[in-house]
Amino acid sequence: MEYIKNRFFDRASKCMAEFQRIRKDHGDVVLGQVTIDQVLSGMKGIPALLTETSKLDANEGIRFRGYSIQELQQKLPKLDADGEPLPEGLFYLMLIGEIPTQEDVENLSKDWATRAHVPQHVFDVIDALPKNSRPMTQFTTAIIAMAYDSVFQKAYRAGVGKKYYWDFMYEDVMTLIARLPRIAAYIYRRMYHNGKHIDPNPNLDWAGNLAHMMGFDSVEVKRLLRLYMVIHADHEGGNVSAHTTHLVGSALSNAYYSFGAGMTGLAGPLHGFANQEVISWINEMLEQIGTDVPTDEQIADYIENTLKNGRVVPGYGHAVLRITDPRFTVQQQFAEKYIKHDKTIDVVNQIYRVAPPILEATGKIKNPWPNVDAISGSLLNHYGIVEHNFYTVLFGVSRSLGVLASLVYDRLYGLPIERPSSFPMSWFKEKADGKPGDC
Ligand code: HAX
């Protein structure tokens, strides 16, 4: 499978030359100004990162290498014409910048299948944790445990030259991605199926094999997981899981450490954990109201109470987006195509009608529309993946595709250690008031 690596290098090395030229000859070009509000509101909108794999537009949503989700559904290779694109194809697109052929994705599937063996010590580490440890604790622990195998780390210690870093990072990245479905499925079966594990089927695609190892072999679940893995794969470089992976990688930490750190960020309730929170919040609401077919008024009251209690309405709002997340819409379309009737999905659609005006009326929530997490759990739930504590792990498996493709670029470009400046409150006070002073 060296040809995938060679294709990446052929294409990306042209960009590397541009990176070096721009940095050297145009390093003093001003990109914008930074306001106090931007710094104090979580660095929103500050152009601060170089990320090749995808770009997020506030009013349009995500584009992967320029392609919207709808375009990916048309252009990326599938296993059958009626199905969903293969995540392998999206990884290829993010890494190389070109839409792959069917043969390219089949080769990538085969490459990952040959790398997918998980060493026994990783299972031992998972098994050493209490069975009811949070799935994301087990997932990140397993990822960090695999650093033992890092070829990048070994090469660095052996003194390999900086210009070869990307090659070793590529090897770690491919191996790590290949192993994740097995690890996720292992945690799932350990927690919810008495440790009765299902062997991988090397003839299946990456997402299909994940469904299989979790115990779901229907065509529809495999299609759903392929779609799920595509839409959660990347959301440009500034989101917490992507930025953390990139930041930790800038210290030349290996891919396992970097991605493991990113996953601890994904586990936060304002980020990937929101996909679990949505289902918990809906269940709590239905329990409190005492029905699974609530009226719009009952839902509105519950939302008002959530806000009154100082809690967030999970699945709504976004740090960048100012529209309904296209990743929400494409999942709604999946539900319309395959699912005739499901009470939880009906409630999700009802919340979509009821919540935005209430959130908008607060006057402070910048985006009252649903994000990807508002619906993803209800689809999994429909197909029998009812253990919602596990949902963020599935998000994490998918997120590897974008953030790890980016990590290969980081090492190819030779991006240096990241080190922004920080200041005490007295400095901000001086900037704001024009005179120094303590708080
Ligand atoms: N419910 C209640 N309040 C909300 C809200 C929501 N859904 N979304 C934003 N707000 C509040 C913020 O907490 C903030 O309040 P304070 O001023 O009192 O601190 C105010 O509105 C302004 O926030 P914002 O500028 O609109 O949003 P942020 O960029 O600060 O935060 C979040 C973006 C996604 C974190 C936020 O919208 C949120 O907490 N949403 C609910 C959790 C969620 O769904 N997270 C998943 C996001 C998608 C993702 O990353 N998936 O992985």
Tens of pLDDT, residue by residue over 204-260, are: 999 999 999 999 999 999 999 999 999 999 999 999 999 999 999 999 999 999 999
- Known catalytic residue at 117: no
Between CA 159 and CA 197 the distance in angstroms is 40
For atom 35 of ligand 1, the residue with the nearest CA is 270
- pLDDT by 10s per residue, the chain, length 439: 788 999 999 999 999 999 999 999 999 999 999 999 999 999 999 999 999 999 999 999 999 999 999 999 999 999 998 999 999 999 999 999 999 999 999 999 999 999 999 999 999 999 999 999 999 999 999 999 999 999 999 999 999 999 999 999 999 999 999 999 999 999 999 999 999 999 999 999 999 999 999 999 999 999 999 999 999 999 999 999 999 999 999 999 999 999 999 999 999 999 999 999 999 999 999 999 999 999 999 999 999 999 999 999 999 999 999 999 999 999 999 999 999 899 999 999 999 999 999 999 999 999 999 999 999 999 999 999 999 999 999 999 999 999 999 999 999 999 999 999 999 999 999 999 998 777 7
Determine the residue type at 147.
Answer: A
Q: Label residue 61 left, alpha or beta by phi (over 0 means left) and psi (-120 to 50 means alpha).
A: left
For atom 31 of ligand 1, the residue with the nearest CA is 319
For atom 37 of ligand 1, the residue with the nearest CA is 317
293 C-alpha vs ligand 1 centroid, how far in Å?
Answer: 27
Of 273, 305, 364, 403, best ligand 1 pocket probe by most atoms within 8 Å of the beta carbon: 364
pTM over 0.95: yes
Between CA 300 and CA 227 the distance in angstroms is 31
- Known catalytic residue at 271: yes
Q: Catalytic: which of 325, 373, 388, 410?
A: 373
Q: What is the dihedral of CA 331, 337, 340, 341, to 10 degrees?
A: 10
Would you give the end-to-end CA distance of the chain in angstroms?
Answer: 60
Phi, psi of 55 (to 5 degrees): -140, 135
Contact 312, 367 (CB under 8 A): no
The Cα angle at residue 204 between residues 198 and 209, in degrees rounded to 5: 40
Between CA 425 and CA 437 the distance in angstroms is 9
List the chain domain ranges.
3-102, 108-193+200-214+237-268+400-413
Residues 108-193+200-214+237-268+400-413: name the CATH superfamily.
Answer: Citrate Synthase, domain 1 (1.10.580.10)
Pocket around ligand 1: residues whose beta carbon is below 6 Å from it?
239, 270-272, 274, 307, 312-319, 364-367, 371-373
Q: Catalytic: which of 232, 246, 318, 388?
A: 318
Give the 3-state secondary structure of residue 57: strand
Between CA 315 and CA 324 the distance in angstroms is 11
